[in-house]
Amino acid sequence: MHASPSLLATRMLAITNADKHGLAVIAVKIAGAAAKSTAKHIDALKASEKDKKRLGCLSACVEVYSNAVDQTSVAANGIASGKTGGLQDAVTTLSAVLEAPNTCEEGFDDLDEMSPPKVEHSNFGKETAITLCVTSALLPSL
């Protein structure tokens, strides 16, 4: 189950000893866990799907979210580096990760069907958007 954006913010605020970098690392770990959970949920949906086209869409979604898990780890390393280049790479990576729900939805849109993991897409998108905002705030002002 995914944390709501308000619960995510509450969790982050509860960690009073964490600095901004620490908050970004925590947020990216939550986003990574959400991606992993979403991939598992979609994989479970695949097990009961009989329609080949929908099964293909679900398989593509699992791949997209599995890649998102890997990319959130890359972003976490960039954030943890504390260096401007690492932070910029993290922002770029998180921007791409933020597209996972849209990428998954496109396959179902092509079939003129609603995506079964619609709620998961929404939650993941919100969590990733929060992570991207927190991480972007770490970049030095120009």
Could you list the mean pLDDT of each consecutive 10-residue stretch along the chain, which spans 142 residues?
Answer: 59 60 90 95 94 94 96 95 93 96 89 84 91 92 67
- Helix 20-48, helix 5-14: angle, nearest 10: 140
The structure tokens listed for 77 are 């390393």
Residue 59 has what pLDDT?
95
Residue 67 has what pLDDT?
97
Residue 13 has what pLDDT?
58
Spatial distance between the Cα atoms of 8 and 19, rounded to a whole number of angstroms: 16
Spatial distance between the Cα atoms of 129 and 107, rounded to a whole number of angstroms: 22
DSSP alpha helices (H): ranges in the chain?
5-14, 20-48, 52-81, 84-97, 100-110, 118-136
CATH number of the structural domain 5-136: 1.20.140.40
